[in-house]
Each structure stands twice: as C-alpha cells, then as structure tokens.
Amino acid sequence: MELATKQAEAKFTAAKTAVDLAKSDIRAAELALEQATANLNDTRIKSLISGVIANCNVKVGQLVSPGVPLIEVHKIDPIYVHIDIPQDNIKDVKVGQLVNIKVLAYPDKDFKGTVATIEQVLDKKARSFGVKIRVPNREKLLKPGMSCEVEINVGTIEVLAVPQHALFSKDDKKYVFVIENNKVKSRQVETGRLINGMVEVKSGLSEGEKIATTNIGYLKDGDKVKILNLK
C-alpha cells in the first residue's frame, strides 16, 4: 500500500511538472508571437491622416534611419487656401465669412469656401495678415500648389475708381493723366484697393473728371488728345 502511494505521488509530481513546463512553453510562444506581430507591424507605415501621397522619398530595399521622412501625405478634402490680407482691409474679414474661389484649371467652375483662421500677428515686411480658407474638395479637383483668385464679400460700398491701366508710377507715386480742354496733365492720386481691374482712388481726383485710359506710356503733360466713345 505504501509503495502504491509513493508511485502515485511520483506520477502526480511528474504530471504537474509537465503541466508547468507546458505553461512555460505556451507563454514563451505567446511572447514570440507578440514580438513577431510587432516586427510585422514595424514593416507597415500607416499615415495618421487620410489623403494623397505627394512625395515618396525612399525606394524598396533602402536602409533608412529613425526620423528620416519617408512619404509626404496631403489631406485635400477639405483643402485650405492661404492668402494675405492688407492691414487696411483686415477689419472687413471675419472667421466663417463666405468666399468665392476661381482657378485657371476650371475657368467655368466656382468653388465656395469659408474663412477658417486669421493670423493675429502682422507680417511686418508685407504689412498684411495671413488668412486660411477652408474649401470642400470632395471631387478632388483642387490640388496642393494651385494658384487661385479669391473673392471675399465684405459688403458693397461706392468708391471712385479708375482702370488699372490708366495709372502710371513715378518716384514710387501713382499718377493719372487728367484731360482738360483736350490736353492732358499728370496728377498724383492716392490709390486704394484693386478689384476686378479697377483701382480705388482715395484722393487727387473728383467724380466726373475725365482721364486718359489709352497710350499712357506715350503721353506727356500738354499733349493734345481726342475723346472717343464717351458714354
């Protein structure tokens, strides 16, 4: 009886040892699986944002060091348009304001956007504020780097304006040729905003005065001119 008991205890101990060894092997296998999974994941580069690949700076098989940029990804829906607003006009621009956008690639299509952010610090060199405009781009028609024309509706006011091509510069000042008695005379003017080819005149010219709009580069004070198609 005592012999049988000892044999049973020995078998029990051996079985328990085998179970412990099996558990150890399972844990080692689990650790190996975790390491293999981590190694596999390290071979896959996942962008933190959804977008399009703009630049790929590496090739298959190339060795890279930590911190080296691999791929440049751009999020283009929505896409953002960056513009500079002169300090004189920044008071008219507000976050959330509607914006019309035209691009040369799609001359017959209007894109709509809204003012997203307005920088709070003046660019001292350009004397302007940076403004970022958010534009929905579900069709992916707009691409990073495109040039565009931006129109922000800040209301309607009446101002005196002249065609941009009627102005000429001298000593960093703006002039027009005023027509009096069929003769031209240069006059300095203070200009403002440029809108659709027309330049605001803040001072130096009165409503109703006639100015030359053609052959500006060939005129000089006292030249005689003839007014055609006056309406």
CB atoms within 10 A of CB 201: 22
Q: Has domain 161-218 been given CATH number 2.40.420.20?
A: yes
The residue extents of the domains of the chain are 76-152, 161-218
Q: Is the pLDDT of residue 186 over 90?
A: yes
pLDDT digits (tens, 9 = 90+) for 136-181: 999 989 988 888 999 888 777 788 999 999 999 999 999 999 999 9
Q: Among candidates 98, 95, 100, which has minimal Cα distance to 111?
A: 100
Q: Among candidates 82, 81, 87, which has minimal Cα distance to 129?
A: 87
Q: Mapping DSSP to helix (H, G, I), strand (E, B) and coil, where does residue 136 land? A: coil
Q: Is the pLDDT of residue 187 over 90?
A: yes
Higher pLDDT, 74 or 165: 165
Cα 30 to Cα 26, 34, 36, 115: the distances in Å are 6, 6, 10, 53
Q: Has domain 76-152 been given CATH number 3.40.640.10?
A: no
Single-letter amino acid, residue 174: K
Token match 């630049």: residue? 55
What's the pLDDT band for 184 if we cut at 50, 70, 90? very high
pLDDT at site 76: 85
pLDDT digits (tens, 9 = 90+) for 10-65: 777 777 787 878 888 888 888 888 888 888 887 777 777 777 787 888 888 888 88
